[in-house]
Protein backbone atom coordinates (compact mmCIF):
# COMPACT_ATOMS: atom_id res chain seq x y z
CA UNK A 1 0.00 0.00 0.00
CA UNK A 2 1.33 3.41 -0.94
CA UNK A 3 1.22 5.81 2.00
CA UNK A 4 0.28 9.43 1.54
CA UNK A 5 3.20 11.85 1.64
CA UNK A 6 3.32 14.02 4.78
CA UNK A 7 1.45 17.28 4.45
CA UNK A 8 3.95 20.14 4.42
CA UNK A 9 1.25 22.41 5.83
CA UNK A 10 0.70 20.29 8.94
CA UNK A 11 2.85 22.50 11.15
CA UNK A 12 1.15 25.68 9.96
CA UNK A 13 -2.29 24.09 10.27
CA UNK A 14 -1.58 22.99 13.84
CA UNK A 15 -0.37 26.45 14.85
CA UNK A 16 -3.49 27.97 13.29
CA UNK A 17 -5.74 25.51 15.14
CA UNK A 18 -4.00 26.37 18.40
CA UNK A 19 -4.49 30.09 17.84
CA UNK A 20 -8.14 29.61 16.91
CA UNK A 21 -8.72 27.56 20.07
CA UNK A 22 -6.83 30.09 22.20
CA UNK A 23 -8.89 32.96 20.81
CA UNK A 24 -12.11 31.04 21.51
CA UNK A 25 -11.01 30.35 25.09
CA UNK A 26 -9.89 33.95 25.67
CA UNK A 27 -13.23 35.20 24.32
CA UNK A 28 -15.27 32.81 26.45
CA UNK A 29 -13.38 32.78 29.76
CA UNK A 30 -11.11 35.85 29.51
CA UNK A 31 -7.36 35.97 29.11
CA UNK A 32 -6.55 36.00 32.83
CA UNK A 33 -8.69 32.91 33.55
CA UNK A 34 -7.47 30.85 30.61
CA UNK A 35 -4.46 28.54 30.93
CA UNK A 36 -2.39 26.78 28.30
CA UNK A 37 -3.84 23.55 29.68
CA UNK A 38 -7.34 24.85 28.89
CA UNK A 39 -6.36 25.47 25.28
CA UNK A 40 -4.74 22.04 25.03
CA UNK A 41 -7.81 20.34 26.48
CA UNK A 42 -10.04 22.11 23.96
CA UNK A 43 -7.88 20.66 21.17
CA UNK A 44 -7.54 17.21 22.70
CA UNK A 45 -3.77 17.49 22.93
CA UNK A 46 -1.22 17.83 25.71
CA UNK A 47 0.10 21.20 26.95
CA UNK A 48 3.55 20.02 25.84
CA UNK A 49 2.31 20.02 22.26
CA UNK A 50 1.16 23.64 22.62
CA UNK A 51 4.61 24.57 23.90
CA UNK A 52 6.15 23.14 20.75
CA UNK A 53 4.59 26.07 18.90
CA UNK A 54 4.17 28.79 21.55
CA UNK A 55 6.55 29.27 24.47
CA UNK A 56 3.97 30.77 26.84
CA UNK A 57 0.40 31.99 27.24
CA UNK A 58 1.67 35.50 26.51
CA UNK A 59 3.05 34.28 23.19
CA UNK A 60 -0.31 32.69 22.44
CA UNK A 61 -2.02 36.02 23.06
CA UNK A 62 0.51 37.75 20.84
CA UNK A 63 -0.38 35.33 18.05
CA UNK A 64 -4.11 35.90 18.56
CA UNK A 65 -3.60 39.67 18.47
CA UNK A 66 -1.54 39.34 15.29
CA UNK A 67 -4.52 37.58 13.69
CA UNK A 68 -6.88 40.40 14.72
CA UNK A 69 -4.44 43.06 13.55
CA UNK A 70 -4.12 41.23 10.25
CA UNK A 71 -7.87 41.70 9.76
CA UNK A 72 -7.45 45.40 10.52
CA UNK A 73 -4.65 45.70 7.99
CA UNK A 74 -6.74 43.92 5.36
CA UNK A 75 -9.49 46.51 5.93
CA UNK A 76 -6.96 49.31 5.43
CA UNK A 77 -5.59 47.72 2.25
CA UNK A 78 -9.09 47.23 0.85
CA UNK A 79 -9.97 50.88 1.51
CA UNK A 80 -6.71 52.07 -0.06
CA UNK A 81 -7.44 50.05 -3.20
CA UNK A 82 -10.92 51.51 -3.77
CA UNK A 83 -11.36 53.45 -7.04
CA UNK A 84 -12.20 56.62 -5.12
CA UNK A 85 -10.53 59.93 -4.29
CA UNK A 86 -7.79 59.84 -1.68
CA UNK A 87 -10.02 61.86 0.63
CA UNK A 88 -12.85 59.36 0.39
CA UNK A 89 -10.51 56.41 0.83
CA UNK A 90 -9.19 57.94 4.07
CA UNK A 91 -12.75 58.55 5.20
CA UNK A 92 -13.71 54.94 4.46
CA UNK A 93 -10.55 53.70 6.18
CA UNK A 94 -11.13 55.68 9.36
CA UNK A 95 -14.76 54.66 9.75
CA UNK A 96 -14.08 51.03 8.84
CA UNK A 97 -11.37 50.83 11.50
CA UNK A 98 -13.70 52.36 14.07
CA UNK A 99 -16.45 49.88 13.25
CA UNK A 100 -13.93 47.02 13.36
CA UNK A 101 -12.70 48.10 16.79
CA UNK A 102 -16.23 48.31 18.14
CA UNK A 103 -17.23 44.96 16.64
CA UNK A 104 -14.16 42.97 17.69
CA UNK A 105 -12.94 44.72 20.85
CA UNK A 106 -15.90 46.40 22.48
CA UNK A 107 -18.90 44.12 22.07
CA UNK A 108 -17.18 41.46 24.17
CA UNK A 109 -15.56 42.63 27.41
CA UNK A 110 -13.28 39.59 27.50
CA UNK A 111 -11.90 40.50 24.08
CA UNK A 112 -11.39 44.04 25.35
CA UNK A 113 -9.38 42.63 28.27
CA UNK A 114 -7.25 40.69 25.79
CA UNK A 115 -6.54 43.84 23.78
CA UNK A 116 -5.67 45.87 26.88
CA UNK A 117 -3.15 43.26 28.05
CA UNK A 118 -1.53 43.24 24.61
CA UNK A 119 -1.27 47.03 24.51
CA UNK A 120 0.17 47.22 28.01
CA UNK A 121 2.85 44.67 27.11
CA UNK A 122 3.92 46.83 24.11
CA UNK A 123 4.57 43.78 21.98
CA UNK A 124 6.47 44.17 18.74
CA UNK A 125 3.48 42.88 16.78
CA UNK A 126 1.59 46.09 17.60
CA UNK A 127 4.46 48.36 16.52
CA UNK A 128 4.79 46.34 13.33
CA UNK A 129 1.08 46.80 12.67
CA UNK A 130 1.35 50.57 13.20
CA UNK A 131 4.22 50.71 10.70
CA UNK A 132 2.19 48.75 8.14
CA UNK A 133 -0.87 50.96 8.55
CA UNK A 134 1.24 54.12 8.29
CA UNK A 135 2.77 52.83 5.07
CA UNK A 136 -0.73 52.39 3.61
CA UNK A 137 -1.80 55.87 4.76
CA UNK A 138 1.41 57.37 3.39
CA UNK A 139 0.67 55.93 -0.05
CA UNK A 140 -2.91 57.23 -0.09
CA UNK A 141 -1.91 60.67 1.14
CA UNK A 142 0.91 60.90 -1.42
CA UNK A 143 -1.62 60.11 -4.16
CA UNK A 144 -3.89 62.80 -2.75
CA UNK A 145 -1.05 65.32 -2.89
CA UNK A 146 -0.30 64.37 -6.49
CA UNK A 147 -3.97 64.81 -7.37
CA UNK A 148 -4.17 68.23 -5.72
CA UNK A 149 -6.55 67.04 -2.99
CA UNK A 150 -4.10 67.66 -0.15
CA UNK A 151 -1.48 70.32 0.53
CA UNK A 152 2.04 69.44 -0.58
CA UNK A 153 4.34 68.13 2.11
CA UNK A 154 5.94 65.02 3.54
CA UNK A 155 3.34 62.26 3.14
CA UNK A 156 4.95 60.05 5.80
CA UNK A 157 4.77 62.89 8.32
CA UNK A 158 1.17 63.60 7.34
CA UNK A 159 0.31 59.91 7.68
CA UNK A 160 1.73 59.81 11.20
CA UNK A 161 -0.29 62.88 12.14
CA UNK A 162 -3.47 61.55 10.53
CA UNK A 163 -3.02 58.27 12.37
CA UNK A 164 -2.45 60.03 15.69
CA UNK A 165 -5.42 62.36 15.18
CA UNK A 166 -7.78 59.46 14.49
CA UNK A 167 -6.29 57.03 17.05
CA UNK A 168 -9.23 57.58 19.48
CA UNK A 169 -11.34 55.75 16.88
CA UNK A 170 -9.05 52.73 16.63
CA UNK A 171 -7.48 52.30 20.07
CA UNK A 172 -9.62 49.87 22.14
CA UNK A 173 -9.09 51.66 25.45
CA UNK A 174 -9.79 55.09 23.98
CA UNK A 175 -12.88 53.85 22.16
CA UNK A 176 -14.12 52.32 25.41
CA UNK A 177 -13.68 55.65 27.22
CA UNK A 178 -15.21 57.84 24.51
CA UNK A 179 -17.94 55.89 22.75
CA UNK A 180 -21.44 57.25 23.29
CA UNK A 181 -20.31 60.31 25.27
CA UNK A 182 -21.76 63.64 24.18
CA UNK A 183 -18.73 65.66 25.27
CA UNK A 184 -16.36 63.78 22.91
CA UNK A 185 -15.93 64.25 19.17
CA UNK A 186 -18.01 61.79 17.18
CA UNK A 187 -16.19 59.41 14.80
CA UNK A 188 -17.40 61.28 11.72
CA UNK A 189 -16.40 64.65 13.21
CA UNK A 190 -12.89 63.51 14.11
CA UNK A 191 -12.41 61.94 10.70
CA UNK A 192 -13.49 65.11 8.89
CA UNK A 193 -11.27 67.24 11.12
CA UNK A 194 -8.23 65.10 10.26
CA UNK A 195 -9.01 65.20 6.55
CA UNK A 196 -9.40 68.99 6.59
CA UNK A 197 -5.99 69.24 8.23
CA UNK A 198 -4.45 67.49 5.23
CA UNK A 199 -5.88 70.17 2.96
CA UNK A 200 -4.60 73.14 4.95
Each residue's pLDDT tens digit, 24-83 = 898 888 888 999 999 999 999 999 999 999 999 989 988 988 888 899 999 999 999 999
CATH code (residue 76) = 1.10.357.10
In this structure, are 50 and 72 located in the same domain?
A: no
- Reported as a pLDDT band with limits 50, 70 and 90, residue 3 is very low
| Domain count within the chain | 2
On the 0-12 / 13-18 / 19+ scale of CB atoms within 10 A, 19 is buried
Q: What is the pLDDT of residue 46?
A: 93
Q: Which pTM value belongs to this model?
A: 0.79
- Report the half-sphere exposure of 57 (CA within 13 A, side-chain side): 15
100 belongs to a structural domain: yes
Domain span holding position 49: 1-55
In this structure, are 80 and 175 located in the same domain?
A: yes
129 belongs to a structural domain: yes
Amino acid sequence: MIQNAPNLNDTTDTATRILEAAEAQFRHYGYSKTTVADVAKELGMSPANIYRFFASKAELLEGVCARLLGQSQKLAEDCAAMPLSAEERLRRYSMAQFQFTVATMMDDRKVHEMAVVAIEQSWGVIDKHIDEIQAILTRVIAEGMDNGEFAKGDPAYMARCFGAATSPLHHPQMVAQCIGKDNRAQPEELTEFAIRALKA
